[in-house]
Amino acid sequence: MKHIPTRRNFLQATGTSVAAGVLARASAGPLLGKDSPAKPIQKATVDSCIFLWLGGGACHIDTWDPKVKGDAKAKKPGSYYDAISTAIDGVNVCEHLPRMAQLLDRAVVMRTCHHDVIDEHAAAVNRVHVGRPPTGTTVYPSIGAVTSHELGARGEGVPAYVVMGYPSASRGPGFLGAKHSYLYLTETELGPAGLNRPSDVTEQRQQRRETLLADVRREYLARNPGQRRLEEYATTSVEGLKLAGPKFMNVFDLNSEADSVREAYGGEFGQRCLLARRLVQEGVRFVEVSFNLNFINGTGWDTHNAGQLNQHIMIEQLDQALASLIEDLERQQRLDKTLVVVATEFGRPPGFDGGGGRGHYSKAFSMVLAGGGLKTGQAIGTTDELGEKILDTPVSIPDFHATIYQAMGIDPAKELYDGDRPVPITDKGKPVAKCFG
């Protein structure tokens, strides 16, 4: 049975997200929006980011950084698949990425990403989304929330930040507050069903409800001035009502696309990528698309034990959807304006576990950036013969974030403020210079 999000589900989930940020900031003062000393930053050609999330930990040596072929049954370490050549001389990828192999000159493959979280998925997901370790005093914002805060939506009547997949604190706004949280979708066919007015509520009835609620809020704030959290929540709910209008809701009508376009993208993950393209065209600034379809192999990208056996199906679907997205953005003349990111929480080791799958590995793994006006057609960084050790050009998670921000015209060294506490946008991250050569 499909999970069908209701308006109540949406409001409850949004309220939970807001409440988490409220509790974390119980003793914090106002957000001040000061900047650190200005540093030169290139003029961005990018106006949107599509962030494709491979939840579970996609194996780098089975996708973007293939090595000598191993043998799971014999417990011989190495890649699970054969390698094929690409549009970049001397750079190979997995055999199940044939379309992306031909389009790799539109991309940058970062093969030397790393962090120090290994055993816990939630902590690694959080690290990649917020770009730094957690602390007990500050709830840091995600990369999508920071982008929303710094750039906002590109148009009226659309949100700045959308997540396709189930909500989590790692995607949240942290100390930036509810205004910079996300609108989430669970199924492309339904769109943000939680924003739709119930069929038994007429427009007049809805207006009466809104008027009554506005009066209650106004009276409460008059008696309790300075309630910033309530003000943010009220603003967010009002904005949510605006999004229910036809301008934004029409974006979700994928049937308006040609059949050939829809078919080119493939299944549910592909349809999410197609919707992401429509969302950025409409003015959404940051869209995260989650490839969390665990039913394909029972474990998603977390390929322990037998989860390895059908990993190739997920890789093939990634290949189809990602290649179609890049080609579609090119046809729409939006590839240079849209940064496409393929990210995951960590990689997998070259050795195999007792069930023939792989464990977790964060000392070296791969991320991909495509389009976005970057200097594409290159693989950055080299790992050793089994993909275990970084030999040159290590890319930390703060560096990864700084590269994305730089491409979007956001100063990665700028300071935001959690109350009176300055918080740099990145944790001393430096943009990878080779991406902007």
CATH number for domain 43-167+254-408+429-436, candidates 2.40.160, 3.40.720, 1.20.120, 3.40.50: 3.40.720
What is the DSSP pairing of strand 365-371 with strand 338-343?
Answer: antiparallel
Amino acid found at 420: D
Domain boundaries, the chain: 43-167+254-408+429-436
- Confidence band (pLDDT; 50, 70, 90) for 235? low
Q: Which residues contact 248 (CB under 8 A, 6 or more apart)?
A: 157, 158, 159, 282
Residue 287 DSSP code: E
Give, in order, the Cα–Cα distances in Å from 120 to each of 123, 129, 222, 418.
6, 14, 46, 27
Q: What confidence score (pLDDT) does residue 36 get?
A: 39
- Confidence check: pLDDT of 24 > 60: no
* pTM for the predicted model, two decimal places: 0.83
Residue 85 has pLDDT above 70, yes or no: yes
CA distance 414 to 405: 11
Question: What is the average pLDDT across 175-181?
Answer: 92
Residue-wise pLDDT for 314-372, tens only, equals: 999 999 999 999 999 999 999 999 999 999 999 999 999 999 999 999 999 999 999 99
Q: What is the pLDDT of residues 280-330, one digit of tens each?
A: 999 999 999 999 766 677 788 999 988 899 999 999 999 999 999 999 999
Give the C-alpha distances (Å, rounded to integers) separating 402 from 139, 252, 268, 408, 411: 19, 31, 31, 10, 8
Query: What is d(CA 338, CA 378) in angstroms, rounded to the nearest whole number?
Result: 18
Helices 203-223 & 228-243 angle (0-180, nearest 10)? 170
pLDDT per residue as tens digits for the range 111-132: 999 999 988 999 999 999 999 9
pLDDT at 192 over 70: no
Most confident of 133-137, 143-147, 228-232, 247-251: 143-147
Q: What pLDDT was estimated at residue 212? A: 74
The pLDDT tens digits of the residues spanning 372-386 come to 999 999 999 999 999
Mean pLDDT over the full length of the chain: 85
Compute the distance between CA of residue 45 and CA of residue 339 in angstroms, rounded to an integer. 10
The CA distance from 227 to 213, in Å, is 16
